A and B are shown apart, each in its own frame.
Chain A
Amino acid sequence: MSKIAIQNLNKLYNPNKPNAFYALKNINLSIEESEIVILKGVSGSGKSTLLSLLGGLSKPSSGEILVDAHNIAKLPDIMSSAFRHQKIGFIFQSFNLLEGLSVYQNILAPLALTKLGKEAMHEKVSLAMELANIEHKKDQKVGSLSGGERQRCAIARAVVMEPEIILADEPTANLDKENSLMFIKILKKFKALHKTVVIATHDTLFDELSCINRCVQMRDGELVL
Chain B
Amino acid sequence: MSIFLSNEIIVFLLIEVILIVLMAISQVNIVSIVRHWDFDATTPLQYALEKKNYLINTILYFTVTCKVILFLFFIQSLNALSGIVPGAMCSAGVVGANHYGNALLLLKLLLIFGFGLWLIVNKLDLASILFPYLKRKYLLFTFLFVGVLGEFVLEILYFSNIPLTVPVFCCSVVFQAPKLPFGYTQTLLVLFFYTLFGVIVLFNTLKQTMASFTCNLLFLFIAYYAITYFFGLYVYEMPNHKCPYCMLQKEYYYIGYFIWGSLFLGIFFGIMPFLIERITQKSYVYLLKYSSFCLTITALICSFYVVRYYLMTGVFL
Are A and B subunits of one complex?
Answer: yes
Residue from A62, A64, A77, A78 whose CB has the most chain B CB atoms within 10 Å: A62
Can you name the residue of chain B whose Cβ is closest to the Cβ of A64?
Answer: B42
Contact flags A24-61 to B (C-beta < 8 A → 1, else 0): 00000000000000000000000000000000000111
A side interface size, CB within 8 A: 18
Q: At the interface, yes or no: B50 with Cβ under 8 Å from chain A?
A: yes
Do residues B47 and A59 form an inter-chain contact, with CB atoms below 8 A? yes
Contact flags B32-66 to A (C-beta < 8 A → 1, else 0): 00000001001110011011001000000000000
State in angstroms the CA–CA spacing of A61 and B47 once bound together.
6
Do residues A73 and B47 form an inter-chain contact, with CB atoms below 8 A? yes
Can you name the residue of chain B whose Cβ is closest to the Cβ of A7?
Answer: B42
Q: At the interface, yes or no: B126 with Cβ under 8 Å from chain A?
A: yes
Do residues A12 and B44 form an inter-chain contact, with CB atoms below 8 A? yes
The interface residues of chain B lying within 8 Å CB-to-CB of A62 are 42-44, 47
Given contacts A15-B48, A59-B50, A59-B51, contact A76 B126 (CB under 8 A): yes
State in angstroms the CA–CA spacing of A76 and B43 once bound together.
17
List the count of A-B residue pairs having beta carbons below 8 Å apart: 33
Among candidates B44, B50, B51, residue contacting A10 with C-beta atoms closer than 8 Å? B44
State in angstroms the CA–CA spacing of A12 and B42 once bound together.
14
* A interface majority secondary structure: mixed
Q: At the interface, yes or no: B106 with Cβ under 8 Å from chain A?
A: no
* B interface majority secondary structure: helix
Contact flags B110-132 to A (C-beta < 8 A → 1, else 0): 00000000000000001001010
Do residues B48 and A71 form an inter-chain contact, with CB atoms below 8 A? no
The interface residues of chain A lying within 8 Å CB-to-CB of B48 are 15, 61
State in angstroms the CA–CA spacing of A75 and B43 once bound together.
15
The interface residues of chain A lying within 8 Å CB-to-CB of B43 are 62
Among candidates A8, A12, A64, A75, residue contacting B129 with C-beta atoms closer than 8 Å? A75
Can you name the residue of chain B whose Cβ is closest to the Cβ of A65?
Answer: B42
Among candidates A8, A75, A76, A77, residue contacting B42 with C-beta atoms closer than 8 Å? A8
Q: At the interface, yes or no: A189 with Cβ under 8 Å from chain B?
A: no
The interface residues of chain B lying within 8 Å CB-to-CB of A59 are 47, 50-51
The interface residues of chain A lying within 8 Å CB-to-CB of B129 are 74-76, 79
B213 to chain A, nearest CB (A): 31
B51 to chain A, nearest CB (A): 7
State in angstroms the CA–CA spacing of A71 and B129 once bound together.
10
Q: At the interface, yes or no: A63 with Cβ under 8 Å from chain B?
A: yes
Can you name the residue of chain A whose Cβ is closest to the Cβ of B40?
Answer: A74
The interface residues of chain A lying within 8 Å CB-to-CB of B44 are 10, 12, 15, 61-62
The interface residues of chain A lying within 8 Å CB-to-CB of B54 are 76-77
Which of A6-28 touch B at CB < 8 Å?
A: 8, 10, 12, 15
Residue from B47, B126, B129 whose CB has the most chain A CB atoms within 10 Å: B47
Residues of B near any A CB (own CB < 8 A): 39, 42-44, 47-48, 50-51, 54, 126, 129, 131
- Selected A-B contacts with CB under 8 Å, 20 pairs: A8-B42, A10-B44, A15-B44, A15-B48, A59-B47, A59-B51, A60-B47, A61-B44, A61-B48, A62-B43, A62-B44, A62-B47, A63-B42, A64-B42, A71-B42, A73-B42, A73-B47, A74-B50, A74-B129, A79-B129
Residues of A near any B CB (own CB < 8 A): 8, 10, 12, 15, 59-64, 71, 73-79
The 5 closest A-B pairs by CB, nearest first: A62-B44, A61-B44, A64-B42, A62-B43, A63-B42
